[in-house]
Structure 1
Amino acid sequence: MSKPSLAPNAALADGRVEMFMQPIVDLVTGRPSVFEALARLRRPDGSLATAAEFVPSLDSDDLDALFRIALDRSLASLAHWIGLGIRVDISVNLDPSTLGNPLCSAWVEEALHRHDIDAERLVLELLETRAIDEAEQNSTIDALHALGVRMAIDDLGSGYSTVSRLRHFDFDLIKIDASVHDGFTTAPASTLCSLSTLIALGVNVHRPSVVEGLESLDMLAVAAVLGAPLGQGYAIARPMPAAAVPAWTAQSAPLVDQHHLTTFSAVLAYHWVHGRGSAHPGNTSACPITAFLAEHNEGSPVDSWHVSQHGDSVKDTAGFGRKLSEWLAAHVAPGAGGPAIA
C-alpha cells in the first residue's frame, strides 16, 4: 500500500516536524559525545517521512524554516538533557542554501540565547546537497565560529565533500561517509586503504573523525581497530525520539575490546594497521590475533605466518605477511580476489 501524499510546505506550517536523535559515540567506551538531530515529518496517517523523502522538494525559504524549527527543538531537547545531568552535545544539519542566508548566524545566536545553551555545545553539520559557494558562505561560517559554534563537514568521501574542501573551510569535525566502507565485504583491501586514509587525515589535521553508517558490529570493530575515535550507525543505535535519549544514555557501554578480536574483519584490520612494513606490537602470546587463530585455525600454516610478524624487525622475505592478509581477506570476502594487503 502506498503512503499518503505529503505536502512538506503544509507540514512545516502545521508544526508536524519532529526531531529524532542518533548518537555519535566513542568507539572504545561506547559513551555518546554528540546526538545528531534528524528531522522527520508526521504524515496525516501518523507515519513518519525521513528527510531524504521530503527535503528535496523544499525551496530555499522552506529550508530556512526547517532549519530554524530543527534548531529550536533540538536546543530545547539539549537544555532538558543538561537539566538531567547528561553531558552531551547536539548537532543540527545545515543546508548550504541556509548557510548562504545572511541571517543564519543571527538565527543561531538568538536560539542559543533563548535556550541558554553554550555555543560550543552546538555542532552544525554542513549538508552536501549542492556545491558550496566559498566566497558567499565563508563569512557566515566565520560568524558562526565567532559565536563559538562548531562546524562539521558531512559525508566526506562522497558527492561534493572532497578532501580539498578542508583547505577552504575551518571544520571542527569530520564525518566519513558510509559509502567509503560499504564495499568492505567485496573488496576489503581497497576499502581498508580508503577508510584508513580518511581516518588518518582527521588525525593529521587535528580534527576528530566520525565513521558514519556503521550498520554491523563487524564494521564497527573494523573502524575502531583502524583508529577512528567516533562512530555512528544502526549497530550503535537507530534514530530515537528525543524523550528516549536519557534512558539510552544511561545504558551505554563499551563497544569494542581491541585486545579480544572476534571476527575475521577485525583481525584483518589489525594486520592492516600493524603489519605493513613493520612488526606487530608486543610478543606473540599477547597479540589478539593469537587468541583468534586458536579458535579459527585448523592446523594450517597460518600460525607460523603470524608468528613471523612479531619481533624487533620483520624482514618478510617469504611473504608470510601477504599470505596472512590473503587468508584473512578470503574469509571476509570469499572469491573476491584482488590485491593483497601486506
Structure 2
Amino acid sequence: MFMQPIVDLVTGRPTVFEALARLRRRDGTLATAAEFVPALDADEVDTLFRIALDRSLESLAHWISLGILVDVSVNLDPSTLGNRQCSAWVGEALHRHGIDAQRLVLELLETRAIDSSEQTLTIDALHGLGVRMAIDDLGAGHSTVSRLRHFDFDLIKIDSSVHDGFAVAPVSTLRSLSALIDLGTNLHRPSVVEGLESLDMLAVAAVLGAPFGQGYAIARPMPADAVPAWTARSAPLVDQLELTTFSAVLAYHWMHGGSSAHPGNASACPITAFLAEHGSAVNRWHTSQHGDAVEDTVGFGRKLSEWLAAHVAPGAGAPAVV
C-alpha cells in the first residue's frame, strides 16, 4: 500500500493519509488501482479491500505508537459495499489493530452508482461502528446532489476534473470549484480538493475556502513505511501559500466580489503589493474597489478580473492598461 497525505489548508498539517493500492509488475514498475482493478471480479475486489484495510490499519497503529496522530482512509468499491459481510470485516479489522473507528475514513467513488438496499444498510452499519464515510471524486459522476441528500457522508472529496481547466477558463473554473466547496460548507461537511499538482493551484483552493487539499503539490504517494520520515521533515504548507501569483490573486479578487466594492482600505489588502508592481493603471483599478478612488468601481473591477484572467490564460486577451 502507498499513502498520500491530505492536509489542512489552514494549518498546513497532514490530517489523513489515503491508502492507495499498487501492483508491482514483473518489470518492477508499479500499476495504479485504475490500471488493474477494472480487471478484477467482485470477489477479488472484496479481497483487495480487506487487504488494503488490514494493511492500512496496521500502518496507522504503528504511526500512532510513534506519536503521529493522523487518520487513514481506504477506498471502498460500491460492489463491496453491497456485500452484507462488509461492516463485519471492518469491525473485526478495527478490533484486531486496536484502532478507534473515528480514525478510519471509507471513500466511496462518486463515479459508481449506489442503488441497492444492501448498500444502504451497510452504510448505516458502518456509521453505527463510528466509521466516517467520504464521497470520492465529487463532480465526476452519478447523481451528486441526490446522493449527498440521501446518504450521511462525513467528508466530500472534489475531483481534480473540476479544476483541470483553470488555465484555459479560470473564472468559470473558480465558479465551479467554489460552488462545490460551498456545497460542503452548507451541508456542514468538510471538503477536500483533490489533484492539486502545483503550489499555485493549492493557493487557489485555500483562497476559495477549501478546508483540505490533496495532490502532488503536497506529496506524491509514498510507501507506508516512509510516512514517519515525511511527516517529520515536511514544513507546514501554509507558509508557502502566499498571494504572489496571478492565479492566487485572481481567486482572491473574485472571492471578494470581483466587480463590486471591497471592504477596508487598499493598504491593508493582501493583493495590493502584487498589483502595485504591475503599473499605476492596474493599481488604480484595484484601489477603486476599496473606495480609495471615486471612480467606476464596477468597470474597473471587471477590467481587473479580465486582466488577471488573461495572465492565467494568456490566449484570452487582456484589457488595455492605460
Question: What TM-score do the two structures reach when normalised by structure 1?
Answer: 0.88
Moved more, 275-284 or 170-179: 275-284
Contact map agreement 2:2 2:19 (CA 8 A) in 1: yes
- After TM superposition, the structure 1 = structure 2 runs for residues 75-224 of structure 1, keeping only pairs within 5 Å, are 75-128=57-110, 130-160=112-142, 162-224=144-206
TM-superposed CA distance for 1:289, in Å, is: 1.3
| Pairing 1:270–2:252 present | yes
**Letter of the 1:305 counterpart:** W
Per-residue CA deviations over 1:27-75 (Å, capped at 9, x if unaligned) read 2322001000000112233221110110000110000000000000000
**Letter of the 1:320 counterpart:** F
Contact map agreement 1:153 1:161 (CA 8 A) in 2: no
TM-superposed CA distance for 1:255, in Å, is: 2.0
- Tell me the equivalent position of 2:316: 336
Which structure is higher in helix share?
A: 2
Question: Following the alignment from structure 1 to structure 2, what is the Cα–Cα distance between the partners of residues 119 and 273?
Answer: 37
Question: Following the alignment from structure 1 to structure 2, what is the Cα–Cα distance between the partners of residues 101 and 337?
Answer: 54
Contact map agreement 1:275 1:309 (CA 8 A) in 2: no
Matched pairs, number = 318
Contact map agreement 1:30 1:252 (CA 8 A) in 2: no
Structure 1 residues 137 and 95 mapped into 2: Cα distance closer, same or farther (>3 Å)?
A: same
Moved more, 164-173 or 273-282: 273-282
Cα RMSD of the aligned pairs, angstroms, is: 2.0
SS at match of 2:189: coil
Structure 1 residues 86 and 257 mapped into 2: Cα distance closer, same or farther (>3 Å)?
A: closer
**Letter of the 1:329 counterpart:** A
Structure 1 residues 64 and 331 mapped into 2: Cα distance closer, same or farther (>3 Å)?
A: same
**Letter of the 1:76 counterpart:** E
SS at match of 1:24: strand
TM-superposed CA distance for 1:136, in Å, is: 2.9
TM-superposed CA distance for 1:233, in Å, is: 0.3
Moved more, 72-81 or 161-170: 161-170
**Letter of the 2:65 counterpart:** G
Contact map agreement 2:246 2:312 (CA 8 A) in 1: yes
Moved more, 59-68 or 129-138: 129-138
| Correspondence for 2:34 among 46, 52, 61 | 52
Contact map agreement 1:281 1:287 (CA 8 A) in 2: no
TM-superposed CA distance for 1:118, in Å, is: 0.3
Contact map agreement 1:24 1:33 (CA 8 A) in 2: yes
Question: Following the alignment from structure 1 to structure 2, what is the Cα–Cα distance between the partners of residues 225 and 100?
Answer: 39
Unmatched 5+ stretches in structure 1: 1-18
Per-residue CA deviations over 1:244-283 (Å, capped at 9, x if unaligned) read 1011112232324599411000000001110246532432
- Tell me the equivalent position of 1:68: 50
Contact map agreement 1:39 1:50 (CA 8 A) in 2: yes
- After TM superposition, the structure 1 = structure 2 runs for residues 294-305 of structure 1, keeping only pairs within 5 Å, are 294-295=276-277, 297-299=278-280, 301-305=281-285
Unmatched 5+ stretches in structure 2: none
Per-residue CA deviations over 1:271-330 (Å, capped at 9, x if unaligned) read 1110246532432112111111133x034x111110011149x99555111011001001
Question: Following the alignment from structure 1 to structure 2, what is the Cα–Cα distance between the partners of residues 23 and 203?
Answer: 22
Moved more, 88-97 or 131-140: 131-140
- Tell me the equivalent position of 1:226: 208
| Pairing 1:249–2:231 present | yes
Structure 1 residues 259 and 209 mapped into 2: Cα distance closer, same or farther (>3 Å)?
A: closer
| Pairing 1:306–2:305 present | no
TM-superposed CA distance for 1:124, in Å, is: 0.1
SS at match of 1:93: strand
TM-superposed CA distance for 1:86, in Å, is: 0.4
| Pairing 1:323–2:309 present | no
Q: Identical aligned pairs, as a percentage?
A: 84
- After TM superposition, the structure 1 = structure 2 runs for residues 274-285 of structure 1, keeping only pairs within 5 Å, are 274-276=256-258, 278-285=260-267
Contact map agreement 1:216 1:235 (CA 8 A) in 2: yes
TM-superposed CA distance for 1:133, in Å, is: 1.1
**Letter of the 1:308 counterpart:** S
Contact map agreement 1:96 1:128 (CA 8 A) in 2: no
**Letter of the 1:333 counterpart:** A
